[in-house]
Chain A
Amino acid sequence: AQTVTQSQPEMSVQEAETVTLSCTYDTSESDYYLFWYKQPPSRQMILVIRQEAYKQQNATENRFSVNFQKAAKSFSLKISDSQLGDAAMYFCAYRRENFGNEKLTFGTGTRLTIIP
């Protein structure tokens, strides 16, 4: 079974600084997707960034980028120029590629605090 591990329950960063959230996963599959979701106090799950395992290039979305190390099964999220609105729970998630829809497996989350 696939597992996703987030070893940092809490992180904090000064506003405008850079922070990296860690995620490791375990799978025997070769084709899959990895995601980072943000969950603010409103509870809404917001997709931050997505990475296809077959792509060597790391995904980037504005201030958010990932460091995807397939051999190490590592998928960290870097947030640059942190803003107060980035404060939230961040969840790493895995999804197997199965020619269609598949369930997501989530990590336990990292609570990110932004220090003004």
Chain B
Amino acid sequence: NAGVMQNPRHLVRRRGQEARLRCSPMKGHSHVYWYRQLPEEGLKFMVYLQKENIIDESGMPKERFSAEFPKEGPSILRIQQVVRGDSAAYFCASSPVQETEAFFGQGTRLTVV
């Protein structure tokens, strides 16, 4: 059973471009969480999704950020018109139903130049 897969591992975007980060949860996991880690800081919750539903997006910036977890395929975190302040490591975690432990991917490091 492969772990949580995130790609790309590294992503460089120019200011104003779009960034698309992908997360494939572990097999059998229907819950996905996205977290952002700024340099020298802890992880901050962004959004929690189940298949085709956003359950909690209280940590998502109001503009430019969106997330989806379609019925088929990976979860996508999309950042439009990126700015330098979006540079961070973005982590995805997944868990099965009614479980306490979430399993993390290795993260995508986004650099905005």
Contacts and interface: CB of A to CB of B under 8 A. Distances in A.
A109 B56 contact: no
A11 B101 CA distance: 27
A36 interface: no
B25 to A, nearest CB: 12
Given A101-B95, A103-B45, A43 B33 contact: no
B69 interface: no
B48 A101 contact: yes
Interface in A40-62: 42-45, 47, 50, 52
Contacts of A64: none
A91 interface: yes
A36 to B, nearest CB: 12
Contacts, number: 55
Contacts of A47: 101
Given A45-B91, A101-B95, A103-B33, A91 B43 contact: yes
Given A43-B89, A106-B43, A108-B41, A101 B106 contact: no
Interface of B: 31, 33, 35, 41-45, 48, 55-56, 59, 89, 91, 93, 95, 97-102, 104, 106-107, 109
